[in-house]
Amino acid sequence: MDYFEREIEKIKKEGNYRELPKGKSLGGLIYKDNKKMINLASNDYLGIASDIDLRNNFISKINKENFIPSYSSSRLLSGGFDAYEELEESLSRLFGSEAAMVFNSGYHANIGIIPAISDSKTLILADKLIHASLIDGILLSKSKFLRYHHNDYEHLEELIEKNKRDYERIIIASESIFSMDGDEADLLRMVDIKEKHNNILLYIDEAHAIGVRGESGLGLAQEKGCMNKIDFLVGTFGKAIGSVGAYIICKSVIKEFLINKMRSFIFSTALPPINIAWTNFVINNLNGSINYKQRKNNLDNISKKLREAIISKGIPCTSTSHIIPYIIGDSAIAMQKSNLLQENGFYALAVRPPTVAKGTSRIRFSLNSNIKEEEILSLIKLL
**What residues line the site for ligand PLP (CB under 6 A)?**
105-107, 110, 131, 133, 175, 179, 205, 207-208, 236, 238, 246
Distance between the two ends of the chain, CA-based, in angstroms?
42
Q: Which is nearer to ligand PLP, 31 or 267 (CB)?
A: 267
Q: Which is nearer to ligand PLP, 171 or 309 (CB)?
A: 171
Q: Which is nearer to ligand PLP, 106 or 219 (CB)?
A: 106
Could you tell me which of 340, 357, 353, 310 has the C-alpha nearest to residue 37? 340
For the bound state, the minimum distance from the C-beta of residue 49 to ligand PLP, rounded and expressed in Å, comes to: 13
Q: Which is nearer to ligand PLP, 127 or 231 (CB)?
A: 127
For the bound state, the minimum distance from the C-beta of residue 55 to ligand PLP, rounded and expressed in Å, comes to: 20
Q: Which is nearer to ligand PLP, 275 or 370 (CB)?
A: 275
Measuring CA to CA, how many Å separate 77 from each of 65, 109, 304? 22, 19, 48
Check: CB of residue 200 under 8 Å from CB of residue 160.
yes
Q: Which is nearer to ligand PLP, 167 or 179 (CB)?
A: 179
For the bound state, the minimum distance from the C-beta of residue 268 to ligand PLP, rounded and expressed in Å, comes to: 13
- 350, β-bridge pairs: 363
CA–CA separation, 327 vs 48, rounded Å?
29
CA–CA separation, 272 vs 326, rounded Å?
38
CA–CA separation, 280 vs 187, rounded Å?
27
CA–CA separation, 358 vs 265, rounded Å?
35
For the bound state, the minimum distance from the C-beta of residue 72 to ligand PLP, rounded and expressed in Å, comes to: 22
Q: Which residue is nearest to ligand PLP (CB)?
A: 106
For the bound state, the minimum distance from the C-beta of residue 117 to ligand PLP, rounded and expressed in Å, comes to: 16
Q: Which is nearer to ligand PLP, 236 or 337 (CB)?
A: 236
What DSSP state is assigned to residue 48? -
Contacts of residue 290, Cβ cutoff 8 Å, sequence gap at least 6: 46, 48, 51, 54, 282
For the bound state, the minimum distance from the C-beta of residue 350 to ligand PLP, rounded and expressed in Å, comes to: 18
Q: Which is nearer to ligand PLP, 114 or 309 (CB)?
A: 114
Q: Give me the sheet containing 29-32, strands edge to edge.
A: 24-26, 29-32, 35-39, 346-347
For the bound state, the minimum distance from the C-beta of residue 258 to ligand PLP, rounded and expressed in Å, comes to: 17
Check: CB of residue 78 under 8 Å from CB of residue 275.
no
Q: Which is nearer to ligand PLP, 107 or 278 (CB)?
A: 107
CA–CA separation, 148 vs 190, rounded Å?
13
∠ Cα 308 310 314 (to 5°): 105
For the bound state, the minimum distance from the C-beta of residue 134 to ligand PLP, rounded and expressed in Å, comes to: 7
User: From the centroid of its chain, how far is CA 331?
Assistant: 24
Question: Which residues in 106-129 are b (16+ Cβ under 10 Å) and which e?
Answer: bbbbbbbbbbbbbeeebbbbbbeb
For the bound state, the minimum distance from the C-beta of residue 202 to ligand PLP, rounded and expressed in Å, comes to: 15
